[in-house]
Structure 1
Amino acid sequence: MLKWKDILKLAREGNLAPDHKLQKSIRAWREILDDEVFAITRLSATERPFSSEMCVAFTPGRYACTCCEQVLFDSGQKFESASGWPSFDQPLASNAIAYFADESHGMQRIEVKCNVCDAHLGHVFPDGKTESGLRYCINGKAITFAAN
């Protein structure tokens, strides 16, 4: 189970290697993604809070990266955070997510990206309601859901 100290270490010292990597040009991503998904995943934009149906969906299944279909989270790790974005306490695999220090907008945060295709997913915070204490705050447009 990842804890906040593990996240900080990964962001500082380097991420775990993914099982495989997918690289495409910005132009190639623009051709296959709609404008909103492109802005969120490739330009690190953020969707409006409470705008995603993913916030209130708790059906058993898995959540994958919208860009490359890499499975990132299981519904068992999802919880209601009242933050306005889908929230998880752990990734499905330790190497599914990459962590980066983000000091934009006058804040100190840890950005999370898909470790396979580098899609911006959101941020992770140390204020989760579960045993890990983590809250992966994920843009709903950055993930897709597949029921079990």
Structure 2
Amino acid sequence: MADKLILSNDEWRKRLTPEEFQVLRQHGTEYPGTGCFLGTKTPGTYVCAGCNNPLFKAGTKFESGTGWPSFTQTLSEDSVTEIRDVSHGMIRTEVRCARCDGHLGHVFPDGPPPTGLRYCMNSVAMKHVPEGSPIELVRA
């Protein structure tokens, strides 16, 4: 993985849309069924909207029926970090970008084979890079 990207909240506000900032930096969540990547099936790679860190291959995306884009596995072991989340009166596992620490969504143990995992992500926290296109990481 590339070097960590650490910016102040003021720097993040300048780089991100208000919706991206609310999800990535303030741990917000899109309303179910509203994300732009919910029904997409275009080949390529989903990257972090904050830093372009590669997160998921489009081939691991599946229709979970939850209202958020879902994936069975991350692109690599070091693409994301997983953190115990006890907010909102429940125990969940939060998923963050390993490079910029941006909130992406949560992972649940109720996905399909082969992993049995459901990485339930916010569309606004990601960008789609078409297959064969270069991925350039955002720099400080």
Query: Same fold by TM (over 0.5)?
Result: yes
The one-letter code matched in structure 2 to 1:123 is H
Q: Taking every aligned residue pair, what percent have the same amino acid on both sides?
A: 45
SS in 2 for 1:54: coil
1:18-77 alpha-carbon deviations (Å, 9 max, x no partner): 442110011100111111110000000000001012010011110000000011000111
The one-letter code matched in structure 2 to 1:139 is N
Shift of 1:135: 0.2
Which residue number corresponds to residue 10 of structure 2? Answer: 27
Which residue number corresponds to residue 53 of structure 2? Answer: 70
The one-letter code matched in structure 2 to 1:32 is R
Match of 2:104 among 114, 121, 124: 121
CA distance in 2 between partners of 1:83 and 1:130 (Å): 17
SS in 2 for 1:72: strand
Q: Is residue 85 from structure 1 mapped to residue 61 from structure 2 by the alignment?
A: no
Q: How many residues align?
A: 131
CA distance in 1 between partners of 2:116 and 2:41 (Å): 20
> Displaced runs of 4+ in structure 1, greater than 4 A?
none
Match of 2:39 among 56, 66, 70: 56
Shift of 1:146: 1.1
CA distance in 1 between partners of 2:90 and 2:2 (Å): 31
Match of 1:130 among 81, 105, 113: 113
CA distance in 2 between partners of 1:53 and 1:37 (Å): 13
The one-letter code matched in structure 2 to 1:115 is A
Cα RMSD (Å) of the superposition? 0.8
TM-score by length of 2: 0.91
Which runs of no fewer than 5 residues in structure 1 stay unpaired? 1-17
Shift of 1:130: 2.2
